[in-house]
Structure 1
């Protein structure tokens, strides 16, 4: 026996209570009737301990039309009294305190769980078959409703119409109000929205407000000015390091290329270049240069000057040696 329920054999069909809120458009159940005639009822219907139908109206009606008097049922325990009363309700105008929107959403969620259990049992029985206590096959199958259809069935049972989206939104707001991982202010805001919904406020605006509150609470706070300054400083240092590394990489590549395959320009090119550079130092303002040059610019200038002086000294020695020869 399961802690959720148990199989009961040979329950009288006429003893099962079907409330008015169950869907009445059963569709074509002839294929289901043929399946039951051939291999029996594959999956028992679900009832409350008091015999109120929860799931399986099509299976119940197919068995009744086949002239059967009894059938196996799954007796589901743990169903709330409010839901049992709603399922058993025979008169829609019965005098009772009407359910609030939040209460209705809770019962809708309960019905969805029961419908999901029933669907999973049918799916397992269809896939593997099911052997009853009498040793015979409980065969026969009924098409399994998609998730959206299950929600629609549950909403129709509870409200008499397909209000699944509205009820799902109310239950989501309730989940936010009960979520201990969220901040107190967000939970209290969600609880206040539920109170307003119970007082006939529209659900859609409340849902959007709570959703916005949750998204805002989950977003990181904007950085302070000190944090922004620190990020900017670190970014500038990182950029400088990257530029220095790139410059060093280019220099190494240039030196490596020069060592591997030196390609000298002609003496005429040398003469022309220095003819063009003659007097170039008078073209610039020292103060303006000092203020404008970056560290990497100055490092490049000093490197070129050092290379030029080195070339001058080597060239002077070579010319002196050539004159002495």
Structure 2
């Protein structure tokens, strides 16, 4: 019997005693190759279960050994699984057995589950290293049918789907990042305080994306402050960093959250460019944002915005939303849609033109 990793106990357990929760009931794909591999080589990587016998990792392996008619199987019993995650793994009625999760609760379960799935993937890779691909990548994880060789990105998607029913993990990752920054003693105090404030906002029902942007702005400002205070930097560079940070802060009252993140990001980029070039920096003043002169955002803001909007229409009933909006609200909605379509047309044309140039 192999030595179980820390936090696990390896036992032999009856196959029928292992339960699979609702979220695991997915199309597991063609099991033929995996069944033959286990028949030939045995189960190289035990499946992982909770103390109560609920499956954490190994749905395909479990299905394959059931097809082979095995009565017992070696399992790793994972200690330290939280009660809430145990409920999630055991549920049979798609979240009907307990109250809905808050955003912070969902993020905590996501992080816990992602760690377990990543552990399982790493152990499977190690177990199959010397078996010429016979079982490599075929053992599968608890939630998705494919692909079987779980990468970090796939572990995130699997964990997110098991917790929220969706594969999008961006919001859950952002909450975890805010919590990490709030607790990270190596971060500047201003960043830690801002992150702690944002965690409390989310706890009170606030949206994650604005909090994420505000902390990004705080990180950029903290780095500008560090450059301004660094005696090893040239005086002109320190002066530029000081001026850029002051200009961003002076615009804070008028700027929207997303604009603040963009302003701070751009200011830091200018100082870093001056530092890298070793040239005499130019002092630039940031004016408050005005309605007729929108601030150009970096590409990261665009990507973050659309990550948050992924599949948004699936969460609303148009027959309820349409009549509920005021004339002004509906006008803003129509304007946003029209602007988005015009932007998409222009971006599509630019994309096609670039493709032709590089063909």
Quote the residue 1:6 is aligned against: 9
Task: Please give the residue correspondences for 1:129-208 in structure 2 after superposition, counting only pairs within 5 Å.
Answer: 140-141=135-136, 142=138, 143-208=148-213
TM-score, length basis structure 2:
0.56
Deviation at 1:95, TM superposition (A): 4.4
Q: Residue 37 of structure 1 aligns with which residue?
A: 39
Residue 286 (structure 2) aligns with: none
- Deviating beyond 3 angstroms after TM superposition, the runs of 4 or more aligned structure 1 residues are 221-224
Structure label with greater radius of gyration: 1
Deviations 1:110-160 (A, max 9, x none): 11111111111111110146xxxxxxxxx8442422221111111111112
Distance change (3 Å), C-alpha of 1:71 and 1:99: same
Deviation digits for residues 213-249 of structure 1 (CA, Å, limit 9, x no counterpart): 112112235479xx66x99xxxxxxxxxxxxxxxxxx
In the TM superposition, residue 176 of structure 1 has moved relative to its aligned partner by: 0.7
Counterpart mapping for 1:34-113 below 5 A: 34-113=36-115
Q: What is the CA–CA distance in structure 2 between the aligned matches of 1:97 and 1:221, rounded to whole Å?
A: 48
TM-score (structure 1 length as normaliser): 0.61
Residues 11 and 74 in structure 2, CA contact (< 8 A), matched pair in contact too: yes
Distance 2:49 2:200 in 1: 33
Alignment partner, residue 20 of structure 2: 18
- RMSD value over aligned CA atoms? 2.6
Q: 1:223 to 1:189 in 2, by over 3 A?
A: closer
3-state SS in 1 of match to 2:166? coil
Q: Is the 8 A contact 1:23 1:157 kept in 2?
A: no
Contact 1:40 1:140 in 2 (8 A): no
Deviations 1:161-183 (A, max 9, x none): 11211111111111111111223
Change (3 A) 1:199 1:30: farther
From the superposition, tell whether residues 93 and 77 of structure 1 become closer, same or farther in structure 2 (CA, over 3 Å).
Answer: closer
- Superposed CA offset, 1:84-112 (max 9, x none): 12111122253423221111111111111
- Which structure is higher in RCO with an 8 Å CA cutoff and minimum separation 6? 1
Alpha carbons of structure 1 residues 171 and 23: separation in structure 2 relative to 1, 3 Å: farther
Unaligned runs of 5+ in 1: 130-138, 232-325
Q: Say which of 213, 233, 237 aligns to 2:218.
A: 213
Structure 2: distance between partners of 1:51 and 1:13: 10
List gaps (5 residues or longer) in structure 2.
139-147, 240-359
How many residues are treated as equivalent by the alignment?
Answer: 219
Measured in 1, the distance between the counterparts of 2:129 and 2:229 equals: 56
Could you say if the C-alpha distance between residues 223 and 192 of structure 1 is closer, same or farther in structure 2, counting changes exceeding 3 Å?
closer
Shift in CA distance, 145/95, structure 1 to aligned 2, threshold 3 Å: closer
Contact 1:45 1:72 in 2 (8 A): yes
